[in-house]
Amino acid sequence: MITGKNYTGSELSANGSKTFKTFNPQLNIENQHVFFEASSEEIDTAVSLASNAFMTFGTISGKKKAEFLNAIADEIIALDDILIQTYCSESGLPEGRAKGERGRTIFQLRSFAELVSEGSWVDATIDTAQLDRTPVPKPDLRKMLIPLGPIVVFGASNFPLAYSTAGGDTAAALAAGCPVIVKSHPMHAGTGELVASAVIKAAEKTGMPNGVFSNLNSSGIEVGVQLVKHSGVKAVGFTGSIRGGRALYDLASQREEPIPVFAEMGSINPVVILPEALKNRSKSLAKTYASSITLSTGQFCTNPGLLLGIKGETLSNFIKELSDEIVKIEPTCMLHPSIIGAYENNRSKALSQAELTVVAIHDADVKDNYARQAITTVEGKTFLENTTLHHEVFGPYSMVVQCKDVKELEQIISNLEGQLTGTVIAENEEADKYSNVINALQNRVGRIIYNGVPTGVEVCPAMVHGGPYPASTDSRFTAVGIHSINRWVRPFSFQNWPNNLLPDELKNENPLQISRLVNGKTTTSKI
Amino acid sequence: MITGKNYTGSELSANGSKTFKTFNPQLNIENQHVFFEASSEEIDTAVSLASNAFMTFGTISGKKKAEFLNAIADEIIALDDILIQTYCSESGLPEGRAKGERGRTIFQLRSFAELVSEGSWVDATIDTAQLDRTPVPKPDLRKMLIPLGPIVVFGASNFPLAYSTAGGDTAAALAAGCPVIVKSHPMHAGTGELVASAVIKAAEKTGMPNGVFSNLNSSGIEVGVQLVKHSGVKAVGFTGSIRGGRALYDLASQREEPIPVFAEMGSINPVVILPEALKNRSKSLAKTYASSITLSTGQFCTNPGLLLGIKGETLSNFIKELSDEIVKIEPTCMLHPSIIGAYENNRSKALSQAELTVVAIHDADVKDNYARQAITTVEGKTFLENTTLHHEVFGPYSMVVQCKDVKELEQIISNLEGQLTGTVIAENEEADKYSNVINALQNRVGRIIYNGVPTGVEVCPAMVHGGPYPASTDSRFTAVGIHSINRWVRPFSFQNWPNNLLPDELKNENPLQISRLVNGKTTTSKI
């Protein structure tokens, strides 16, 4: 079922000469399939097909788009075992995780199907004419959200399904009415091709125009660079490293016509543990955080990489308990030799910093590609002065910063880069006392959590997955939840436009019965 | 009342050594006041004060912000004659226009006051916990829009009030909870200082923190450059030329922490005149468009700079009628010698292009700084091949493109850069026949107008003033209307946050009685 070819629209294509294979990190061997990197011509074909497809797909009804999205979900389910097996063989992640992530992917697709089927998401806004207004008549103005055009989606290494081929970015873009070209992630090109085949089948079954979706293989950066620079591409979605995301952002903003890039680039997700809570719950917190730090081998962008507390005996005890707990956990496999290589490199770099103490490192013999978790600690002053310690170590690693007082704690938080999440561990009565600390934390993050762990990103309308740079390239959007559709749309106004030529969303009779803002009042009534 | 100094917060400051004066284009002489360009230290002070002010201003209630915005409106009205006189002496625009623009400015401030006083604009979204969900409980998540931080606003040359010191960008940013630093436009620094004094008075009267607003003078680009590069600045609003807007966009995207720039940079606002309509209404269209092209000496960003029709006798007649009408109109004054200089330069450049015919140019002797309107015409093929002809000639100038057929018309539209507006002049029965032309036009613009003129930007929720690049740097936002507040805010999530620590907008009891999306349903009920 895996051909190793690209999908340029519905066509399987392998014109290029560059090939590559994926890798099974559990078995520490290459997988069998050979993938063909997309050629420059195949990239042009995919973009050209997408531009053509946009002329019709950009204006089809929400009901039709919902059929398409639901059909993608159905076809992904129909892939069944082969998808789960390929996922596991290309990621080293366990079957339970694969099935969970498939469930999340399906849920996302169906959520967007529901959103666009209902239709009110377009924020229809109508101000009717006042012909008798002086000195000049007021025209009739009607506004709604319309799609931007072809979108390029870069799959993430750590979520082969939910943030890749038909993941959140793709589902949101298709729901908006934007054709999608996926730059497939080389680590799970087989998983990508399988999901792409499901999307193509769904497109054909529901009568979508050819080019509404393409899937391009790549092993290096060339395919992505050409896509982002292509004048036919109108926006970019990316999940991955700061270096990768920033490079794409720079390319996109240097174009003759700059285009928006929404890159979610991860963070160190600071956790502030306040003294009373630590005194009362040290043991259970140690257990909870040992588990959160090592969850999925620390390969979540919401992994808690930084724990902050006030120096003292209680914090010293907690550090010891956390160390005891974390070394009890069996090491697990990382996604790819290059990921474990980077983990070991970055951890070594952190460990080599002056005045940093390693308090725990798993010392068992581990299999190839298995990561040894580690906990380190530094003084607040050291952390403040050495920004190398602020960099993410992607993997099961966390650092405890011992602040000399509340003032230093607040200062450290204020000096952090932007973060996806911030967590506060507190007793209810002490939150007030530390309001400056909490305010400083809010200022640096996209989501703030009370007495919990940052790992686990609920897919729901109230979720924000994003945050100030470099957590994302634009804090005004979220990558998760139905409102993530706003990344791929623009408002558009019709002035004095004839009723019969307006889109259904804006017609007087409100045939879709959607909720609209008419002359300042929200209503589903006709005009 | 005009001191020539900067406002760094509430303090009048003139530490710099560089000075300049404004110019009265009607009298063709310099105005008397001497303005002090902001020094590097004054810029730092303004940003530092704004960052401090944000710590409180970012979270004050909507009611308090509304008081502030309404007080600004009141103080602007209280400036009375001195404001109107200064406006006229610094712009050459007539008193009626000054009063109209003041009215628009007041209306914008009061519209935002109403919006934030009501409060539902924060898009409060609540998904309550499901503790019994398997395999893991669903957390409680609550999301709302919060302000980005200090915003820099660049005043526009052509709207000394409505798009300047306390214009749309400033009103939207203050409504959002963002402190504002205005880079005052050098052509109307006196008008700017007067309005700034009104804002400062209003801030003091309503108890706003010092630094919520600053006004910095500048004659060159240095002040703007330093502001956009300043790490304390979190976003930029700009109205002006493509060259200026793009330079700021480039600076902002090259920062270590890139920040959003919303630049509205004008366009040539294509008008498509379909054959039946032209046959039936040639004379009245000629009159209407002669007036639209010369309105405010052609100094609107929505000025119709490009008229498109199908070649033939009817179009030839229309060109003649338009020419006859436009030369009947008395030339009027432009904003500044540098503006008329640019107009004459750009018009000469256009006129020197091969295969372009000048069909009308006002040949009367005109006063200094008065602009002579002109109409030119070219074949569709020439226009397609020579992109110099696509550039805006800011002033009372328009070009009629004679397309050989519908196909060429569609091709020309598809090849246009992004535009603020597009207009279709049609009889109802012919719109269907030209649906491809109309679709192509929709794809290139932010607002489409039927049987009207693009000049006149209604301030209402359904307005879009923006569009694909280079009409704006980000087509996903509008510069006009209440939704322009979305440029300056980001979504923020609270997870399992204690009810008493939540902002009022998200508390169970909904004390503000705002409309919220709770578990997928829009409601004003408590939880």
Taking only the tens place, the pLDDT of each residue in B419-454 is: 999 999 999 989 889 999 999 999 999 999 999 999
Residue type at position A402: Q
SS3 category, A295: helix
Tokens matching residue B290: 């002669």
From residue A427, alpha-carbon distances to A279, A308, A450 in Å are 10, 16, 10
Q: Between B468, B469, B493, which is nearest A447 by CB?
A: B493
- Say what the pLDDT of residue A518 is: 98
Min Cα distance A139 → chain B (Å) is: 8
Q: How do residues A29-84 score in pLDDT, each as one tens digit?
A: 999 999 999 999 999 999 999 999 999 999 999 999 999 999 999 999 999 999 99
Q: Is A379 a residue of the active site?
A: no
pLDDT above 90: percentage of residues in chain A: 97
Tokens matching residue B515: 């409309």
CA A180, chain centre distance (Å): 16
Both B234 and B302 in one domain: the answer is no
Q: Calculate mean pLDDT across residues A302-330.
A: 97
Residue partners of A308: CB distance under 8 A and separation at least 6: A270, A271, A272, A273, A400, A401, A403, A409, A412, A413
Give A-chain residues touching B497 at CB under 8 angstroms. Answer: 448, 450
Q: Calculate mean pLDDT across residues B38-64.
A: 98
- Say what the pLDDT of residue A218 is: 96
* B506/B207 Cα distance (integer angstroms): 25
Tokens matching residue B215: 């006004």
Give B-chain residues touching A462 at CB under 8 angstroms. Answer: 125-127, 141-143, 493
Instruction: Give this prediction's pTM.
Output: 0.97
Both B212 and B331 in one domain: the answer is no
Min Cα distance A387 → chain B (Å) is: 14
Both B245 and B325 in one domain: the answer is no
Confidence check: pLDDT of B297 > 90: yes
- Say what the pLDDT of residue A363 is: 83
Q: Calculate mean pLDDT across residues B140-147.
A: 98
Both A242 and A280 in one domain: the answer is no
* B360/A113 Cα distance (integer angstroms): 56
Confidence check: pLDDT of B334 > 90: yes
Q: Name which of B490, B519, B524 to mutate to probe chain A: the one with the most chain A Cβ atoms within 10 A of its Cβ.
A: B490
Say which of B88, B301, B333, B403 is annotated catalytic.
B301
From residue B98, alpha-carbon distances to A410, B93, B167 in Å are 49, 7, 13
Q: Between B418, B495, B517, which is nearest A450 by CB?
A: B495
SS3 category, B415: coil
β-pairing, A11-13 vs A29-30, is unpaired
Whole-number CA gyration radius for chain B:
25
Confidence check: pLDDT of A365 > 90: no
Residue B502 lies in a domain: no
Confidence check: pLDDT of B8 > 90: yes
- Say what the pLDDT of residue B373 is: 95
Min Cα distance B347 → chain A (Å) is: 24
Confidence check: pLDDT of B364 > 90: no
Residue A92 lies in a domain: yes
Q: Is A276 a residue of the active site?
A: no
* A149/A232 Cα distance (integer angstroms): 8
Cβ separation B460–A127 shorter than 8 A: yes
Tokens matching residue B309: 């029709």
Give B-chain residues touching A447 at CB under 8 angstroms. Answer: 492-495
Tokens matching residue A318: 């907690």
Cβ separation B466–A491 shorter than 8 A: yes
Q: In what order do the strands lie in the sheet with A445-450?
A: A357-361, A374-379, A397-403, A306-310, A270-273, A419-425, A445-450, B489-495, B141-147, B125-127, B516-518, B521-523
Task: Provide the β-strand partners of residue B1.
Answer: none
Q: Name which of B475, B477, B486 to mutate to probe chain A: the one with the most chain A Cβ atoms within 10 A of its Cβ.
A: B475
Confidence check: pLDDT of A492 > 90: yes
Cβ separation A127–B450 shorter than 8 A: no
Residue B320 lies in a domain: yes
Rounded to the nearest 10 degrees, what angle do helices A275-294 and A313-328 cross at?
20
Go through chain A and tell me how many residues it has: 527
Give B-chain residues touching A461 at CB under 8 angstroms. Answer: 125, 127, 143, 517, 520
From residue A128, alpha-carbon distances to A137, A140, B106, B153, B462 in Å are 11, 4, 22, 31, 9
* B48/B143 Cα distance (integer angstroms): 29
Residue B117 lies in a domain: yes
Cβ separation B493–A55 shorter than 8 A: no
Cβ separation B139–A469 shorter than 8 A: no
Give B-chain residues touching A489 at CB under 8 angstroms. Answer: 476
Confidence check: pLDDT of B363 > 90: no
- Say what the pLDDT of residue A135 is: 85
Q: How do residues B146-203 score in pLDDT, each as one tens digit?
A: 999 999 999 999 999 999 999 999 999 999 999 999 999 999 999 999 999 999 999 9
- Say what the pLDDT of residue B432 is: 87
The torsion angle over the Cα atoms of residues A405, A411, A417 and A418, rounded to 10 degrees, is: 90
* Full 3-state SS string of A361-390: ECCCCCCCCECCCEEEEEEHHHHHHCHHHH
* A421/A450 Cα distance (integer angstroms): 11
Residue A410 lies in a domain: yes
DSSP state of A329: S
Cβ separation A462–B143 shorter than 8 A: yes
Looking at per-residue confidence, does B432 or A109 come out higher? A109
* A57/A50 Cα distance (integer angstroms): 9
Q: What is chain B's mean pLDDT, rounded?
A: 97
Phi-psi region of A40 (alpha: psi -120 to 50; beta: other; left: phi over 0): alpha
Residue partners of B112: CB distance under 8 A and separation at least 6: B69, B171, B172, B174, B175, B482, B485
* A478/A481 Cα distance (integer angstroms): 7
Quickly tell me which residue has 């503006």 as its tokens.
Answer: B339
CB neighbour class for A205 (10 Å; exposed up to 12, middle 13-18, buried from 19): middle
- Say what the pLDDT of residue A348 is: 93
Q: Between B438, B458, B483, which is nearest A138 by CB?
A: B458
Both A98 and A196 in one domain: the answer is yes
The torsion angle over the Cα atoms of residues A330, A335, A337 and A339, rounded to 10 degrees, is: -100
* A201/A206 Cα distance (integer angstroms): 9
Residue A336 lies in a domain: yes
Q: In what order do the strands lie in the sheet with B261-264?
A: B11-13, B6-8, B213-216, B180-183, B151-154, B235-239, B261-264
Q: How do residues A260-282 score in pLDDT, each as one tens digit?
A: 999 999 899 999 999 999 999 99
Query: Considering only alpha carbons, which residue of chain A is nearest residue B143?
Result: A462
Residue A499 lies in a domain: no
Cβ separation B458–A515 shorter than 8 A: no
Both A276 and A260 in one domain: the answer is no
CB neighbour class for B313 (10 Å; exposed up to 12, middle 13-18, buried from 19): exposed
- Say what the pLDDT of residue A1 is: 84
SS3 category, B221: coil
Cβ separation B464–A498 shorter than 8 A: no
Query: Considering only alpha carbons, which residue of chain A is nearest residue B424?
Result: A497
- Say what the pLDDT of residue B58 is: 97
* B268/B394 Cα distance (integer angstroms): 9
Give the range of the structural domain holding residue A252, as residue numbers without chain letter. 8-265+475-487
Q: How do residues B471-493 score in pLDDT, each as one tens digit?
A: 999 999 999 999 999 999 999 99
Both A317 and A387 in one domain: the answer is yes
Both B128 and B43 in one domain: the answer is yes
Min Cα distance A420 → chain B (Å) is: 10
CA atoms within 13 A on the CB side of A47: 22
Cβ separation B463–A250 shorter than 8 A: no
Min Cα distance A141 → chain B (Å) is: 6
From residue B14, alpha-carbon distances to A219, A354, B45, B51 in Å are 58, 47, 12, 21
Query: Considering only alpha carbons, which residue of chain A is nearest residue B442?
Result: A492
From residue B270, alpha-carbon distances to A496, B156, B478 in Å are 17, 23, 19
Helix (H) / strand (E) element for B360: namely strand B357-361
* B52/B55 Cα distance (integer angstroms): 6
How many separate domains does chain B show? 2
Q: How do residues A126-159 score in pLDDT, each as one tens digit?
A: 999 999 998 889 999 999 999 999 999 999 999 9
Tokens matching residue A370: 């298995």
Both B204 and B107 in one domain: the answer is yes
Phi-psi region of B15 (alpha: psi -120 to 50; beta: other; left: phi over 0): alpha
* A417/A390 Cα distance (integer angstroms): 8
Quickly tell me which residue has 């303090």 as its tokens.
Answer: B11
Please say whether the beta carbons of B102 and B109 come within 8 A. no
Output the CA angle B222-B227-B229, nearest 5 degrees: 95
Residue A25 lies in a domain: yes
Output the CA angle A264-A270-A275, nearest 5 degrees: 160
Both B150 and B293 in one domain: the answer is no
Q: Name which of A475, A521, A524 to mutate to probe chain B: the one with the most chain B Cβ atoms within 10 A of its Cβ.
A: A475
Alpha helices in A121-241 (DSSP H): 168-176, 189-205, 222-229
Q: Which of B261, B186, B253, B223 is nearest to B470 (CA)?
A: B261
* A458/A469 Cα distance (integer angstroms): 22
pLDDT band with cut points at 50, 70 and 90 for residue B134:
confident
Q: What is chain A's mean pLDDT, rounded?
A: 97
Please say whether the beta carbons of A493 and B448 come within 8 A. yes
Q: List the CATH number of the domain containing A47.
A: 3.40.605.10
pLDDT band with cut points at 50, 70 and 90 for residue B511:
very high
Q: How do residues A116-128 score in pLDDT, each as one tens digit?
A: 999 999 999 999 9
Q: Where are the beta strands (DSSP E) in A75-163?
A: 125-127, 141-147, 151-154
Cβ separation A496–B136 shorter than 8 A: no
Confidence check: pLDDT of B266 > 90: no
Q: Between B449, B462, B474, which is nearest A126 by CB?
A: B462
pLDDT band with cut points at 50, 70 and 90 for residue B264:
very high
Helix (H) / strand (E) element for A87: namely helix A62-91
Q: Between B250, B253, B469, which is nearest A257 by CB?
A: B469
Cβ separation B517–A483 shorter than 8 A: no
Q: Calculate mean pLDDT across residues A90-95.
A: 97
Cβ separation A448–B495 shorter than 8 A: yes
Q: List the CATH number of the domain containing B386.
A: 3.40.309.10
* B330/B340 Cα distance (integer angstroms): 16
Both A239 and A355 in one domain: the answer is no
Residue type at position B279: K
Give A-chain residues touching B486 at CB under 8 angstroms. Answer: 476
Give A-chain residues touching B456 at CB under 8 angstroms. Answer: 136, 139
Give A-chain residues touching B479 at CB under 8 angstroms. Answer: none
Q: Name which of B236, B434, B476 to mutate to probe chain A: the one with the most chain A Cβ atoms within 10 A of its Cβ.
A: B476
Both A481 and A429 in one domain: the answer is no
- Say what the pLDDT of residue A432 is: 87
Give A-chain residues touching B475 at CB under 8 angstroms. Answer: 148, 490
Backbone angles phi, psi at B271, to 5 degrees: -120, 120
Task: Provide the β-strand partners of residue B7.
Answer: B12, B215
Whole-number CA gyration radius for chain A:
25
